Structure 1
Amino acid sequence: MSSNTLKLLQKHKKTILEIWMKNQLTDDGLREDLISNEDLREQSEELVAALVANLSGNDLEDLDGDNWSSVIEILGGIAITRARQGFSPRETGRFVHSLKESILEVLQIQIKDPQQLFDESMKIIRVMDNLSIVTFETFIKGREEVILRQTDEIAEISTPVIRVWDGILALPIIGTLDSSRTQIVMENLLQEIVETGSSIAILDISGVPAVDSLVAQHLIKTVSATRLMGAECIISGIRPEIAQTVVHLGIDLSNIITKASLASALAYAFKVLRLEVRKTNSVNKINNI
């Protein structure tokens, strides 16, 4: 970029910022629910200052150079923040694209020579397009981090191990049971067996939409692991359609205790532990036999 154009951009840095802010604030896609106008202006001002300061030199397309590190760092921070705040890729890309439009608008006003305007505009377009790619890549990484964190949080929430009584644990499973989730289920259940010294674990599959051969194998593995820890495992929530599917697929669950409901499984667990439920004065009471 010519020294004259660089001086021009430095001189009209505030004009670029004002045009850019005007374009952003009048954009129909402005997300005031995700970022305040003050924060938006602060981000924009910081980026404009860093960008204009780094437009000198001949390596305008080499964004890996040291002189572009500050701009990349600012854009990366903005992209990550926007990914976490809930901005869409289009909205984040529009943020950088509107800056390019603002710079080109200033060049069109200040440069009168058509050839010079074309040359300098193409340089700005190439730089801003490359920065848009960097911003998009960083945004995608930030969004992936958010998705992975949310997936882990959902997995933890969806596999709670509940201590329903002394020596009895229950683990309600909701949703599809795949290999990775089976591992989480087993780890949580086995850890809780060790910590509580429980002898009976109930796996309730009432919330599992369907049971196929793969899901059945996962359940069998969980039961086997539980038995190796010295605890008996009961599978509850066997609905009629699930029972028919299991029979149709030829899956052998004969060595596993199964019950139609969690209440039935709990009653069976009480029986094994020689506990019984009695109603006395409208209050449920459990006594040792």
Structure 2
Amino acid sequence: MDKMTQKLHDFLLQQVNEMAQEWLDSREIEENSVYSADASPEVTEYLREQNHYFTRTIVQVLKEGSFKNLSGWAQEIATKRACSGNPLYQSIRHFKTFRFIFLNRIEVFVDLHQSNITQRDILLWNKILNEAFDQMIELFTRYYGEVAEAQAYSQKMLISELSTPVISISDTVGVVPLIGQIDDYKSNDFAEKIMLQAKDLELSCLIIDLSGVPSIDTMMTNELFQVVNMLELLGIDTTITGIRPEIALTAVQLGIDFSKIRTYGKLKDAVSNLLHKR
């Protein structure tokens, strides 16, 4: 490391506290965010310590000429942000804010040592430090995504394990309320669970409610109606409620015959009519 780069390294380390404070002062009120300006003193100090660690990690790149140590900070903080539920875009915005503060400090250093700094020095520092920021953001985004994906998968598996597809509302009538994306049910032996539970509960009628399903693809529409056909073989009549226009369109395009299936616009109407009949 040449003499001026060493001086810049030392100068930036001396500015750690001031840069952190400037960043903290730039915060705005953000609801349910760790970055909010009205966060508790404990959270503010926690952010200050993280920022100190971040700055020292970035500055170290000047000395070592390597980006290998960036991963540790990125993984630790990304994991905390993802686990706390802070949206990714908030972290990216604060990265951008702090990069501006950081580069302003380099401008101050250049102004203080103009006679000893070449254009080549400035271009080199700019290249190294911006690359360090870019790599840190890329690593942060990757680790955040991995944690968020793992959380979503765990939640889906937990729902699958704990949920009971068929809800019995009388001795002979049951309801299967589908919520969220139908695609979530593909790997959960959903059709098998429905048939086994309907059979175990000795149901004669099963209501499949789709009012909580925002969309459905062609493959899952076909699979859903295959379940209807299999229930029929078991002697169980199927009623479908809450069919959205796009689901109906997909079914028609597949040539699925609705004439054998009882349908209602609302679940409560189906429940009322079926229970009254029985």
What CA distance in whole angstroms lies between the structure 2 residues aligned with 1:93 and 1:87? 11
Q: Give a deviation string over 1:109-140, Cα, whole Å, max 9, x none.
A: 54242544x33332332222222222332343
SS of 1:199 mapped into structure 2: coil
How many Å apart are 1:147 and its aligned residue?
6.3
What CA distance in whole angstroms lies between the structure 1 residues aligned with 2:259 and 2:231? 17
Contact 1:161-1:188 at 8 Å conserved across structures? no
What CA distance in whole angstroms lies between the structure 2 residues aligned with 1:34 and 1:136? 18
How many Å apart are 1:6 and its aligned residue?
1.7
How many Å apart are 1:74 and its aligned residue?
1.0
Match of 1:235 in 2: 239
How many Å apart are 1:72 and its aligned residue?
2.7
Evaluate the alpha carbon distance shift between residue 205 and residue 23 of structure 1 in structure 2; reply closer, same or farther with a 3 A threshold: same
What CA distance in whole angstroms lies between the structure 2 residues aligned with 1:12 and 1:209? 52
Match of 2:62 in 1: 55
What CA distance in whole angstroms lies between the structure 2 residues aligned with 1:211 and 1:119? 58
What CA distance in whole angstroms lies between the structure 2 residues aligned with 1:247 and 1:46? 56
What amino acid does structure 2 have at the position aligned with 1:237?
A: T
What CA distance in whole angstroms lies between the structure 2 residues aligned with 1:244 and 1:137? 42
Contact 1:20-1:98 at 8 Å conserved across structures? no
Query: Normalising by structure 2, what TM-score?
Result: 0.67
Question: What's the % identity of the aligned pairs?
Answer: 19
Question: 1:113-128 alignment to 2 at 5 Å?
Answer: 113=115, 115-116=117-118, 118-128=119-129
What amino acid does structure 1 have at the position aligned with 2:189?
A: E
Structure 2 spans left out of the alignment, 5+ residues: 36-42
How many Å apart are 1:203 and its aligned residue?
0.3
Match of 1:98 in 2: 100
* Coordinate RMSD, CA, aligned: 4.5
Evaluate the alpha carbon distance shift between residue 153 and residue 211 of structure 1 in structure 2; reply closer, same or farther with a 3 A threshold: closer
Match 1:46 to one of 49, 53, 61 = 53
Considering only CA atoms, is the larger Rg found in Structure 1 or Structure 2? 1
How many Å apart are 1:96 and its aligned residue?
4.8
What amino acid does structure 2 have at the position aligned with 1:37?
A: T
Match of 2:13 in 1: 13
SS of 1:202 mapped into structure 2: strand
What amino acid does structure 1 have at the position aligned with 2:175?
A: A
Contact 1:104-1:121 at 8 Å conserved across structures? no
Of the two structures, which has the highest relative contact order with CA contacts closer than 8 Å and spacing of 6 or more?
2
Answer with 208-217 or 44-53: which moved more. Answer: 208-217
Match of 1:86 in 2: 87
Return the structure number with greater helix share: 2
Contact 2:92-2:137 at 8 Å conserved across structures? no
Contact 1:212-1:246 at 8 Å conserved across structures? yes
Return the structure number with greater strand share: 1
SS of 1:113 mapped into structure 2: helix
Please say if 1:199 is aligned against 2:192.
no
What amino acid does structure 2 have at the position aligned with 1:129?
A: N
Match 1:37 to one of 31, 44, 47 = 44
Q: Give a deviation string over 1:44-90, Cα, whole Å, max 9, x none.
A: 21123333344224xx2x53xxxx32x33113433444454225264
How many Å apart are 1:17 and its aligned residue?
0.9
Structure 1 spans left out of the alignment, 5+ residues: 277-289
Match of 2:135 in 1: 134
Q: Give a deviation string over 1:168-219, Cα, whole Å, max 9, x none.
A: 43112356x65x24526x7346336546822333202345578997665243
What amino acid does structure 1 have at the position aligned with 2:239?
A: I
Tell me the number of residue pairs that the alignment of Structure 1 and Structure 2 aligns. 259
Q: Give a deviation string over 1:18-51, Cα, whole Å, max 9, x none.
A: 3312331332557594243212210121123333
